[in-house]
Amino acid sequence: MRTTSTFKEHTAFIGTYAAALLGCGATCVRLEKNIGRIASAYGIEVEMTIMPRHIHLFMRDKSSGTSESAVIEPRKMPISFRCNTLLSRLSWEIADGQIEFSGAGAALQRAVSQPPRSKELVTFMVCCASASFCRLFGGDLAAMGVLMLSTCAGFMLRCHLLERKVDIRAVMFLCALVSSVLGATDMLFSIGSTPEIALGTSVLYLVPGIPFLNAFSDVINRHYICAFSRFMDAVVLTCCLSAGLCTGLLVMNAGMFR
Amino acid sequence: MSTPLLFWLLVFGAFVIVLALRLTAALIHHLHGRHHIFEAGTEREIVYIPGDPLHPDENDYEDNEYV
């Protein structure tokens, strides 16, 4: 029979795992599956209530009947598909018996403390993605160049402000403002033939796509409270983005304010 | 000077200054870092198979493979 201390260690591990998985932007269905998989491997029955700001776990040892309840806050970390993947892989390794409990704790710490990708490379990739979107909407080379410039400025500002823990809503507003002002370069200096496309696509990189997708995933899996919370988060960010864009258009005397 | 142009110059100027400062800092860091164009890496850097542990574990029996 398992000792109480081991059971407590297992439940503490599951709690830390759940906090990390919710913090890195996993959907509710992934949380349920991964936590269920790990708990099952350790001979634990788990019931969970996933709320937007915390997870309530009730765990019961199948062999001894000992139970424990925990309310966990999600770990504060940026959305990361890489961390998400590593944590999912860890759950399978535990379920398949490929990793001991002691090793699992170390693997969990490694997964959540992955060094961030090169900032310069990410900025460049985001600029390329924005320019591609511009081309997709029919923008010419001048519009693509201007868009790369505006995205680079906005994205650098975004990274800088987020590193300094500035509120995400203020960050979205300021980045949208800067990107829209620089996105209006074509219009201001009469460069190229598609200045309105450069302006319109200048804030696309700020659209909170992952929260929207996660919200719909949660709706499909009937986690309505979480879905609504994620959706509202995304809507608020989109409103801040729109406010920044409108201010930029107003200042530049462009678009609908012309 | 019109308001849009003034505002554009302000934002663009700030961006150029920040970019120049960052590039200078990166250049200085690179020069002091003494990065070699060609160098011999460790065995682990050359022969890496996806799935290999990313960091050495102090509790491992043989750590030499990471050196």
A157-209 pLDDT tens trace: 998 898 888 999 999 999 999 999 999 998 888 888 888 899 989 999 999 99
Query: Does B57 sit within 8 Å of A188, measured CB to CB?
Result: no
Name, in order, each residue with C-beta under 8 angstroms of A171's C-beta and a sequence gap of 6 or more. Answer: A157, A158, A161, A162
Please give the pLDDT value at position A192. 84
Q: Tell me the chain A residues in contact with residue B20 when contact means C-beta distances shorter than 8 Å.
A: none
**In contact, A53 and A73? CB cutoff 8 Å:** yes
Mean pLDDT of B35-52: 65
Q: Tell me the chain A residues in contact with residue B5 when contact means C-beta distances shorter than 8 Å.
A: 188
Distance CA A66, CA A59 (A): 8
Q: Tell me the chain A residues in contact with residue B19 when contact means C-beta distances shorter than 8 Å.
A: 156
Length of chain B: 67
Residue type, A93: E
Query: Does A182 sit within 8 Å of B8, measured CB to CB?
Result: yes
Please give the pLDDT value at position B46. 64
Please give the pLDDT value at position B67. 43
Residue B48: pLDDT over 70: no
Q: How far is A248 from chain B (nearest CA, A)?
A: 9
Please give the pLDDT value at position B66. 47
Query: Does B8 sit within 8 Å of A253, measured CB to CB?
Result: no
Question: A with B: how many residue pairs have Cβ under 8 Å apart?
Answer: 37
Whether ipTM tops 0.95, in short, is no
- What band does A1 get if pLDDT is binned at 50, 70 and 90? very low
Please give the pLDDT value at position A147. 93
Query: Does B11 sit within 8 Å of A182, measured CB to CB?
Result: yes
